[in-house]
A and B are shown apart, each in its own frame.
Chain A
Amino acid sequence: MHPALLLLTDSRLPAGGHAHSGGTEQAIASGAVHDVPTLAAFLKGRLHTAGAVTAALTAAACAHAASTTTAPITGTPGTPLWGRLDAEVDARTASPAQRHASRTQGRLLLRVARRVWPSPVLDGLAAESPNPHHPIALGTAAHAAGATPEEAAMAAAYHAISGPATAAVRLLGLDPVAVHGLLATLAPDLTAVTAGACRAAVHQDPGWAALPACSAPALDLLAERHATAEVRLFVS
């Protein structure tokens, strides 16, 4: 594992992630999540739906960033197609509120990554797409930091559950050790989601159409409800 992965997945990465709950705040407001077992079900569902999609998109972004630096077969760099990949993310993100949250987190991560791992590929992404979706920013940042698509996918899968878990600790006052224990039990799921993401992401455009598109309508609805909630602590 590349050490940069530790930095990219650290909750202290100063990229605004601490203020996003990924639907957890509304799931708690609705009563669906109220203790560790209900949080476990929520996180598992999130990981295998939204997490699986963003992990595959992140791996695809990382592989694409690598291909624009050097193409594996011809040895000549390919042209970045960030707009095309961006459209693939949009198409897989039904809720406008979620699209907005994804672009906000992507923009903030890109800002941090450009200062931490300066590289032409990040500059190129910023020039073409100043508000990239989070998986695109994460995959490109992972490449700039020296990580592989598989590692990028793992970071995305972990991101899909770590922020929501922390939000539940803060909002419900859950035992943080119990919640970390829960995250540990999800390790095999993280491995499986990462492997699935990599299988899907070996293709370059136009193979991106085959990237997973499993949806989680409940998460979409929670995101929409959150965006119009009168009282909220988290951005999403």
Chain B
Amino acid sequence: MGANHDDHHHAPDGHDRALRLGVGGPVGSGKTALVAALCRTLGRSLSLGVVTNDIYTTEDADFLRRAGVLDQERILAVETGCCPHTAIRDDIAANLDAVETLEHRFGPLDLVIVESGGDNLTATFSRGLADRQIFVLDVSGGDKVPRKGGPGVTTADLLVINKTDLASMVGADLGVMARDAAAVRGERPVLFTSIRQDPTAATVATWVANEVWSWPQPHHPAPAA
């Protein structure tokens, strides 16, 4: 990551603030599992907030609160009126409001994670809402998905391909997925995970921690040894 993102480093209002990380991807790919893992792994060294965009009910927020990975009050749920996509890209007002509410109540924060509602391959976060975004696929969607591309797969700062533990069961070829992803993403990173087998999502957490450390705001945590 680096130079090509410098233009996003400051909020439109010019204030230094927490890094805002979008986590998007199709329904059921493991977004909430990843957010829980990041809270588990980074929650002790970073000051975190989480916003969920549930399709209906507050399922994801409730799951995260039950998982006990973060103070319950640091998790806010946003309703998206049948259009999860609109709420993260075209009309980000409710999400910004939730992010700022968390910053106001618990700030200064180091990292605010916004999980989008499960959507399709065209869903991406507005740069007005997320400074960095992770797109989460899973192998059970088929190994052809990276080849299909779409803005999420192509432009996300990090592509996570989750549920590698299921690859043999669904006949997905991880090598094909890695090759196709590299073909559409160029230098942008791809990580394969099984959050089932590694509930800390260690590799993704390291990537996120590096992004937070290189984020120019005054309340940096010290880099871990």
Contact = CB atoms under 8 A, between A and B. Distances in A.
B70 to A, nearest CB: 23
B91 A234 contact: no
Given A111-B97, A231-B57, A233-B56, A12 B91 contact: yes
Contacts of A231: 56-57
A15 B96 CA distance: 10
B87 interface: yes
Interface string A129-150: 0000000000000000000000
Contact of A111 (B57, B78, B79, B96): B96
Contacts of B92: 14
B166 interface: no
Interface size class on chain A is 20 to 34
Contacts of B96: 111
Nearest to B89: A14
A19 B57 contact: no
A209 to B, nearest CB: 32
Contacts of A20: 81
B183 interface: no
A15 B79 contact: no
B94 A108 contact: yes
Contacts of A167: 81-82
A103 to B, nearest CB: 11
Contact of B93 (A112, A170, A171, A232): A112
B55 interface: yes
Given A111-B96, A230-B57, A15 B81 contact: no
Contacts of A15: 91, 93
Nearest to B87: A19
B191 interface: no
Contacts of B93: 14-16, 108, 111-112
A111 B12 CA distance: 13
A7 B61 CA distance: 34
B82 A170 contact: yes
A21 B91 contact: no
Contacts of A232: 56-57, 79
Interface-central residue, B80, B92, B93, by most chain A CB under 10 Å: B93
Contact of B81 (A12, A111, A234): A234
B56, B78, B87, B91: residue with the most chain A Cβ atoms closer than 10 Å: B91
B155 interface: no
Given A19-B79, A20-B81, A170-B82, A233 B55 contact: yes
B47 to A, nearest CB: 24
7 contacts: A18-B83, A19-B81, A19-B87, A19-B94, A170-B83, A171-B82, A234-B81
Given A20-B81, A108-B93, A233-B81, 12 more contacts: A12-B90, A13-B91, A14-B93, A17-B91, A19-B83, A167-B81, A170-B82, A171-B82, A232-B57, A233-B80, A233-B82, A235-B81
